[in-house]
């Protein structure tokens, strides 16, 4: 096997399913970068970052970060981009010339670019399902676009958050964009879906699922059945991955 000149990778937990490795491996092949590779750093806990990832620092060109480490990786970084600091979540790490690590967030760019391709612009407020790192990037974009929103979690923990039990007909009527940032419905649990009153969905709704495997989750199928606009997370992933590549090579 030829000597690897540059390694990139994905930092996460239980990530064998990941889109990133296949995407970047194909990208490197298309660009003729024979000595580049992309690997999965599947960590049981974030504390393993130093022993299992930093050992490759001399060859590392950059990292992507996925659940559940988009927030817990921050203390391990030397520097953080202003937008990522505002979002309080990092999904891209650039290795600076002096080997220091700088965190960025390309999820916001990926989500905004993807949303604009299906957003009609006249939908009322949004419900963000889930409160992890990806939901923070989604909230950042909605604020930027002037769309009011509420986070939805299993239990209410702040003023801008409601529980699933709080969602009724009126709540569904007032929030026509519903974005699933939770892992509910991901392969192999493809029959699972967020606990919503789907009977109140209409053709005015837009359902967006950050999940891309399966291509059409049970959540999206319920939206489709009601005549809503639906979109999965595959285009968001491609947009954020290309932005990561640009950051690594800037």
Active-site residue set: 70
Beta bridge partners of 151: 128, 161
Structural Rg of the chain based on CA atoms: 19
The helix/strand/coil state of 160 is coil
Cα of first residue to Cα of last residue in the chain, in angstroms, is 29
Backbone φ/ψ region at 206: left (φ over 0), alpha (ψ -120 to 50), beta? beta
**Distance from C-alpha of 22 to C-alpha of 11, rounded to nearest angstrom:** 15
Work out whether the CA dihedral 239, 136, 213, 54 comes out positive or negative: positive
**Distance from C-alpha of 226 to C-alpha of 207, rounded to nearest angstrom:** 11
48: buried, middle or exposed (CB in 10 Å: 19+, 13-18, 0-12)? Answer: middle
Query: Cβ(88)–Cβ(111) under 8 Å?
Result: no
The helix/strand/coil state of 18 is coil
CA distances from 110 to 62, 159, 178, 236 (A): 18, 27, 17, 4
């Amino acid at each position: 096997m030829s000597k690897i000149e540059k390694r990139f990778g994905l930092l996460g937990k239980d990530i064998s399913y990941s889109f990133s490795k296949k995407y970047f491996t194909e990208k490197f092949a298309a660009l003729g970068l024979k000595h580049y590779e992309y690997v999965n750093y599947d960590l049981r806990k974030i504390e393993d970052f130093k022993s299992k990832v930093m050992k490759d620092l001399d060859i590392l060109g950059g990292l992507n970060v996925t659940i559940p480490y988009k927030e817990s990786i921050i203390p391990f970084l030397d520097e953080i981009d202003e937008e990522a600091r505002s979002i309080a979540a990092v999904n891209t790490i650039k290795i600076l010339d002096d080997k220091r690590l700088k965190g960025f967030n390309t999820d916001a760019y990926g989500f905004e670019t993807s949303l604009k391709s299906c957003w009609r612009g006249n939908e009322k407020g949004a419900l963000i399902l889930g409160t992890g790192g990806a939901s923070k990037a989604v909230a950042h974009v909605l604020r930027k676009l002037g769309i009011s929103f509420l986070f939805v979690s299993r239990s209410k923990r702040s003023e801008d958050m409601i529980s699933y039990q709080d969602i009724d007909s009126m709540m569904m009527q007032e929030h026509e964009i519903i974005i699933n940032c939770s892992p509910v419905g991901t392969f192999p649990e493809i029959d699972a879906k967020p606990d919503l009153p789907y009977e109140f969905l209409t053709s005015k709704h837009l359902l967006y699922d950050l999940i891309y495997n399966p291509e059409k989750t049970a959540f999206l199928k319920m939206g489709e059945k009601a005549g809503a606009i639906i979109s999965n997370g595959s285009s968001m992933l491609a947009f954020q991955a290309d932005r990561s590549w640009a950051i690594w090579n800037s």
